[in-house]
Structure 1
Amino acid sequence: MFKRLLLVLASATLLLSAASRAADTSDTSLVLLTENFPPYNMAKNGKNFAQGDNINGIAVDIVREMFKRAGINYSLTLRFPWERIYKLALEQPGYGVFVMARLPDREPLFKWVGPIGPDDWIMLAKADSKITLENLEQARQYKIGAYKGDAIAETLAKQGLAPLVVLRDQDNAKKLLNGQIDLWATGDPAGRYLARQEGITGLKTVLRFNSAQLYMALNKDVPDEIVTRLQTALDQLRKEGVVDEIMGRYL
């Protein structure tokens, strides 16, 4: 009789604990941060600060659908610069940032949900440029523009290519056209989209040197259950063709 009572009490404790954990995760509200990175994330007014419905883009639309499917609350803010929102997501419990390349040195720093979309790394040149490249090493002799804090810029710097960085990636399109740089190291499709926004077309790809995927990075304090629910929701959206449909709106 006593053993049976202990079993009942133990079972009740486990149920209460599970219910408590479920209540905790259901009440979770994540703080999501992003930056101007068209066509994945962008402020509708073109500014470097926006919140909620004033933000759109491929990744933003996918994230909204993902959180809706997963039943998780969130707030969304677009801020500047990238280094600031990266640091917040890294250090603040309940924070997340998107979109971000999932690089080996970043892997243990966050919990990841994705992939959300592709981000090939390319070197762009002017339409009339005579530059031809077969590998990244051959780019060393040229002036290369990149975006400060971006994974592309960091990778080039680690390899000793010393890119000239700017605070807005689209500024590199103008610098390329004006001859201030010879090559623009950027993402595809992001670079071409940004160039078009500046009225610049006809840039040519002279090197494709990496193929990456973009993710949402969550602070390591975010419960695993939340991460799993978000990943499951994203997988369902991709399986149903929703991700492709969203991309088709912008590209």
Structure 2
Amino acid sequence: MPEVTIMSRITRVLKDRTKALWLLCLLLAVDSAWGEPQVVELHILDAPPLTFTNDPRGHGIVGDVAVKAITRAGYTVKIHLLPWARAQKHVSEEHDFLIAPLSRIPGRETRFTWISSIMPMERAFFSLDHKVDSFTQAKERFRKVGVGLGSAQEEILRTEGFRDDQIYPLAIGDNPAQLLLMGRIDAWFNGVPESRYIWPKVSKRKLLMSSVGSTADLYLACSRQCSAKLVEDLREAVEALRKEGAIERIHDVYLP
């Protein structure tokens, strides 16, 4: 057999094998992409019973609903913990990042993509000595009001005309209940479920609660630039959990 013919056959075989290997790699890559769920980041904070960062029962009412919805929609969740003000800025500026629980208030409306409401949140003033019935009374009565740094509560007080020196932003690590007991703050403006959950673990003193001053739904939200498919998938998943009664059951785990 001529040498040229042998070399031609060897070259053709090598080319065929190269094509086969390339095709096999492509198929494996496609199969891997189809087989592995997309990972999405979920940013939460430690705000019991709404969200927990370290609790054997789970991630709290809103946290568990968010995680179950993400999983149900076919995604894998990766939970992140950042100071709340920084977490909001980070999620807002990125793409396809999730955050919960986030109150839908005017100052945030255009910064996020609002996927689905999970539960309503009532807010009130909590104090030891004086019960107030309005924001006006609170402004006149309380010298310092504790609120979470970067929280909806802080923005609500500023919108209601509270002075900067009246607002005491609480950073991570600050315990508002302890600050109230020590007299460092005169009142605590916060979500009703969270305050009622925390207080009995800190003191047996009677905690006075004002009339509800603000109500805003808590949402699972996404970055301002967020995939339409991700939004739709998660919105459908949350609504399915609601219809099945799963959200109510999760609520009863943490607030029986």
With the shorter chain as reference, the TM-score category is: 0.7 to 0.9
Question: Could you tell me how far apart the structure 2 residues matched to 1:113 and 1:201 are?
Answer: 40
Percent identical among aligned pairs is 27
1:68 to 61, 66, 71: 71
CA shift, 1:228, in A, is: 1.0
1:38 to 28, 36, 48: 48
Q: Residues 163 and 169 from structure 1, CA distance in 2 versus in 1: closer, same or farther, beyond 3 angstroms?
A: farther
CA deviation vs aligned residue, 1:21-65 (integer Å, no higher than 9, x gap): xx89x95421111111111111226xxxxxxx9962111211121
Question: Could you tell me how far apart the structure 1 residues matched to 2:58 and 2:244 are?
Answer: 24
Q: Which residue of 1 aligns with 2:93?
A: 91
Q: Which residue of 1 aligns with 2:104?
A: 102
Question: Could you tell me how far apart the structure 2 residues matched to 1:200 and 1:227 are?
Answer: 44
Structure 2's unaligned 5+ residue stretches are 1-32
CA deviation vs aligned residue, 1:189-222 (integer Å, no higher than 9, x gap): 0112122333456312123101111011201322
Question: Could you tell me how far apart the structure 2 residues matched to 1:212 and 1:42 are?
Answer: 20
Please tell me whether the aligned partners of residues 124 and 213 of structure 2 are also in contact (alpha carbons under 8 angstroms): yes
Question: Could you tell me how far apart the structure 1 residues matched to 2:127 and 2:85 are?
Answer: 27
CA deviation vs aligned residue, 1:113-160 (integer Å, no higher than 9, x gap): 22112211101112xx2x232310111121212111111112212333
Q: Which amino acid aligns with 1:40?
A: L
1:112 equivalent to 2:114? Answer yes
CA deviation vs aligned residue, 1:71-114 (integer Å, no higher than 9, x gap): 1222112x231111111101111212111101122112211122
- RMSD of Structure 2 on Structure 1 (CA): 2.4
Number of residues paired by the alignment? 218
Q: Which residue of 2 aligns with 1:171?
A: 175
1:56 equivalent to 2:55? Answer no
Structure index of larger Rg: 2
CA shift, 1:242, in A, is: 0.5
Please state which structure has a larger fraction of its residues in strand: 1
Structure 1's unaligned 5+ residue stretches are 1-22, 46-52
Q: Could you list the structure 1 runs, at least 4 aligned residues long, displaced by more than 4 angstroms after superposition.
A: none
1:81 to 72, 80, 83: 83
Question: Could you tell me how far apart the structure 1 residues matched to 2:58 and 2:116 are?
Answer: 20
Q: Residues 189 and 63 from structure 1, CA distance in 2 versus in 1: closer, same or farther, beyond 3 angstroms?
A: same
**3-state DSSP class of the match of 1:227?**
helix
Please tell me whether the aligned partners of residues 135 and 160 of structure 2 are also in contact (alpha carbons under 8 angstroms): no
Matches within 5 A, 1:178-197: 178-197=182-201
